A and B are shown apart, each in its own frame.
Chain A
Amino acid sequence: MNRTIPPPIKDAVEFDIKLKPYEKFTLDNGIPVYVIKSEEQDTLQLELVFPAGSWYESESLEAAATNFLMKNGTSKRTALEINESVDYHGAYLNRNAYHENATFTLHCLTKHTEVLLPVLQDVIQDPSFPEEELALYKQNQKQKLAVNLQKCDFVANRFIDKYLFGDFHPYGRVSSMMAYDALQTETLRAFYQKHYTYNNCRIFVAGNMPANMLALLNKHFGTTRWNGESSLIRPELPIQPAEEKKFRIFNDENGVQGAVRIARPFPNRYHPDFPKMLVLNTIFGGYFGSRLMSNIREDKGYTYGIYSQLYNFRQVSAINIQTEAGRDVCEATIEEVYKELQQLQNVPVPQEELDLVRNYMIGSILGDLDGAFQVIQRWKNLILNDLDENYFYNNIQTIKNITAEELQQLAKQYYNPGDFYELVVI
C-alpha cells in the first residue's frame, strides 16, 4: 500500500444539498409556527421571536434589560419559582436580545413540554419587572462590565464597531456604567408592551414534539390577542463611520498581547456581492487553512489564531479581521494582513485552492444541516430576513461556480488597505 497516495474522494461540490422544508401552522390568533420534526431523539426546541432588539431602543440597553428581566418574576411567579420549575424538569430557558430581534428559547425533554408551557406563557405574557430584580441586574452587569473592560479583546470589539457604525447607531453603541444606572422599570415595561405582543410573535419548533403540540401552543399562545396589537415601524438609521482610520489604544500598560482589529463596512446580505464575499472571506481568513492562518499563525507564530469574519447584520455588514497577537508583533501582524489583502488583489486564486475551499464550504454546510435543531436555525435566519430557500440555493451555486477572476475583481473592489479601519488595543 502506498500511503503517499490519498484515497479517492467524492468532491463535496457534487453533493446535492437539500434544505428540508418546514411545516407551517397558524395559531387561532394568527401567530405563525414553523416546524421541523424529527423523531430520532426525545428532545425539543421551542423558540419565540419578537422584533425587540436594540434597533428599536430609545435608550441604550433597553432591549437587553427588558428581555433579561422578563424571566425574573411575573404577577403569579417569583424568579425563583420560574427557575425552579425549569431546572426541576431539566430544561433550559434562555433569552437573548440581538440587534433586530429578541428571543426566548426552551430546550427540554419532549415528555416535559406540557408542564413547562404554562411557565413560558407566564414569562412572555405577564412579566412584572420587580424593582429589586432590576437593581440586582444593574449591580451585577456593572461588575461584569468592569471585569470585561480589562480584557483587550473585549475593548477592541467595542471600539471597532464604534468606528464602523458610529457611537449612536445601534450597531456601534456600547454598554456603559451610566447606561446601566439610567435603566428604569417604567421604560422597560413600556418597551415590553410595545414589542412583545401576539402580532409580533413568531414561533419556531424543532425536534420531537408531543402529539398534541399544536393544541398546546394554541392553548398557551393562540387563543387571545395578548398584549394587544402593536404596529412597529422599523426606523431608518444611517451609520456614521469614523473619519480617522488608524487607532492605537493602551488599556493595560502591562499587557503582553494586543488585540488587533482591521475592518471596513460591507454591503448587507441582499447585495449580489455578499454571497461571493462569503467565498473570498473564507479563502482569506474564514477557516483553519486560510491565507491569514497559514501565514500569521502557521508560518510566523505571531498568534494563537487569526480570523476574518463577515457580519450578518441586517442593514449593513462589515469585514472584520481579528486576532490577539504578541505585544511586540502587532505591527508586523498588521503589515502581513495588508500583504495578504494585496496578494488577493494582484494574483488570481490558484485553481487548487479554490477547489479546496469550495469542497470545504459545501462539506461544512452539509455538517451544519445535520439534525432538526440545525435545520430550523437555517430556516429561521431566512424567514427573519424575509428570504426563502432560493437564497440558500443561490449561495450554494455561488460556492460551486464562482471563478478566480470574479474573486480577484471582488478583492480589487473591497480589499484596498486604505479603506480599512485599523486598531490595536494593548
Chain B
Amino acid sequence: MIHYNKFTLANGLRVVVHEDHTTPMAVLNVLYDVGARDENPAQTGFAHLFEHLMFGGSINIPEYDEPLQMAGGENNAYTTSDLTNYYIQLPAENIETAFWLESDRMLSLAFSEKSLDVQRKVVSEEFKEHYINKPYGDVWHKMRELAYSTHPYRWMTIGKELSHIENAQLEDVKAFFFKFYRPVNAILSVAGNVTVEQVKTLAEKWFGDIPSGEKYTRQLPVEPPQTAAHKLEVKANVPLDALYKCYHMYARSDKRYYAADLISDILGGGSSSRLHQVLVKEKKLFSNIDCYHFGSLDAGLLTIEGKLVKGVKMKDAEKAIQIELEKLQGEIIADRELQKVKNRVESLLAFEDMSLLNRANNLAFYELLGDAGLMNKEFENYEVVTAEDIHREAKLIFDEKNANTIYYYAENQG
C-alpha cells in the first residue's frame, strides 16, 4: 500500500506526494502527457528528440546538469509512444534544487541552435546504434507498419526515418514546447524524505506562476479492427531465422487488459511458461522464445517472438506456436497455473515498489491513467480474472485474422 497526497495548483499542474522517512533521498518526477503518438506523421521522432533538447539549458539556467550534480543529484528521462517522463534523484536536503531546475524548463527552454544541431546528431547515432547496426534491429519498424494502418503507433518512438530528425527546425521545437510542455498537461510527483507541506510550499513557489497553457485534447485516428492476417517476409544478414507474431490487444484502461497481460505470462513468463517449456525444451524448435507486450495506453500488440534452431523449417515452427495458442483457446487452464501467474504479478508489484524511483514514476503514471490511487488497486484487477476470462480472450486475441507475422530469414545461410 503506497500512501500519497495530491493537490492541483491554480495553473492546472497536478501534484502527487509520497512521504517515506526511511530514506535520506528524494525523487522529483515530471511526466508530460505527450508521446510519439501525438506527432505529426511527417515529423516523427520529435517527442524523443525534444526530450534530448530539454537538457540543453532553460530560460534562466544555462546548464541543467551542473547545478544538479553539485547538489549530489542524478537525472534521466525517457520517451515512449504515450508519454515523456523526467526524473531526478538527490539527497532530500537538496530537493529545492530539483524544483528550481524542473520549473525553469517548464517555464521555457533556451532554444539554442547549437543544442538542436548537436542533439540531431546524437539522436541519429542513437538511431543507428539501436535500430540499424544491430541484427534484427529493424524488425519493430517493419512490424509497426504491418500491424497498424491508421493509429500513430505505426511509427517507432525514435522516428520513422532518420530524415525526420535531421530536418527538425527550431521553429518546430518552439511550437511543440508551447503546445505540450505546459502545467495543464503535466504531472509532478515527489517522493522520499519530504513532507506534504514542504512540497506544497515549494510547488507553489517554483511552479505556481508558470502560465497554465492550453489543455491538449487528444484526438488520434482510431485503428479499425483488423479483418485479415498480415504477413511479411524479410531476408537480412543475420545468423538465424526468426519468427515474430503480433496480435492486437486492449488499451491499458480496458478491464480486459488484465486477462491479456496474464495470457502473455502464461505463454512467456518465467522458465516454466508454456512456450519456453514446449518449444525450447521439449520440441527443441526455438533456441529462445518470448511473449510480451509494452503495456501501451492505446490498444497495443501481444507479441510472440523467437529464434529458430538451425535447420528447423519456418512452417514447422509456426505450426508449433499455433498448437500452443489453440490449447489456450480450447482448454480451460488449471487453477494452479492461473494462480501461478497471479502470484507472479503480486511479487513483481512488491519488488517494483521497493525502489523510491519506481514509486515516484508509478504515482505519476497512474495519475495520468486517471488517479494515483489506482496504483494500490492494481493487484485486485488481476485477482478477479477467471479461467473463463483467459479462455474467452485467448479465442478473441489469437484469431488468425488478428495476426501480424514477420518471417525473418537469414540470408545466404543453410
Contact = CB atoms under 8 A, between A and B. Distances in A.
Contacts of B355: 371
A257 B128 CA distance: 7
Contact of A363 (B91, B277, B343): B91
A41 B355 CA distance: 11
Contacts of B100: 3, 6-7
A6 B119 contact: no
Contacts of A255: 133
B347 A90 contact: yes
A286 to B, nearest CB: 12
A363 B69 CA distance: 8
A73 to B, nearest CB: 11
A78 to B, nearest CB: 10
B96 A7 contact: yes
Contacts, number: 208
A88 B280 contact: no
A287 B72 CA distance: 12
B297 to A, nearest CB: 26
B154 to A, nearest CB: 24
Size bin of chain B's contact surface: 35 or more
A302 B91 contact: no
Interface stretch (A21-29, A140-148, A166-174): A140-148
Contact of A139 (B24, B120, B123, B287): B287
Interface stretch (B243-251, B255-263, B267-275, B322-330): B267-275
A366 B24 contact: yes
A256 B128 contact: yes
Interface string B81-101: 000000001110110110110
Given A289-B66, A371-B354, A9 B94 contact: yes
A147 B307 contact: yes
A87 interface: yes
Contact of B117 (A4, A86, A252, A301): A301
B348 A257 contact: no
Contact of B340 (A3, A88, A324): A88
A340 B339 CA distance: 57
Contact of B354 (A150, A299, A373): A373
Contact of A366 (B72, B121, B124): B72
Nearest to B107: A3
Nearest to A110: B350
Size bin of chain A's contact surface: 35 or more
B69 A359 contact: yes
Nearest to B310: A143
A80 B71 contact: no
A306 to B, nearest CB: 10
A109 to B, nearest CB: 5
B93 A324 contact: no
Interface string B342-382: 01111110110111100000000000000000000000000
A80 B272 contact: yes
A331 interface: no
A367 B270 contact: no
B287 A140 contact: yes
Given A9-B97, A326-B128, A297 B65 contact: no
A6 B94 CA distance: 11
Counting chain B CB atoms within 10 Å of each CB, the highest count among A109, A143, A287 belongs to: A143
Contact of B281 (A80, A149, A302, A371): A80
Contacts of A300: 118, 121
A152 interface: yes
Contact of B271 (A4, A42, A83, A140): A83
Contacts of B94: 9-10, 12
A108 interface: yes
A4 B62 CA distance: 9
Contact of A256 (B59, B74, B133, B205): B133
B125 A304 contact: yes
A88 B271 contact: no
Counting chain A CB atoms within 10 Å of each CB, the highest count among B60, B96, B287 belongs to: B287
Contact of A41 (B69, B125, B132, B354): B354
Interface in A61-100: 79-80, 83-84, 86-91
A151 interface: yes
Interface stretch (B3-11, B213-221, B233-241, B391-399): B233-241
Interface of A: 1, 3-4, 6-10, 12, 15, 40-43, 79-80, 83-84, 86-91, 107-109, 136, 139-140, 143-144, 146-147, 149-152, 252, 254-257, 287-289, 297-304, 324-326, 355-357, 359-360, 362-364, 366-367, 370-371, 373
Given A12-B71, A87-B340, 14 more contacts: A3-B61, A6-B67, A90-B344, A136-B284, A140-B288, A147-B136, A252-B133, A289-B66, A298-B122, A301-B120, A324-B125, A362-B72, A363-B71, A367-B89
10 contacts: A6-B97, A7-B97, A80-B277, A80-B281, A86-B271, A89-B343, A150-B238, A256-B128, A360-B70, A363-B71
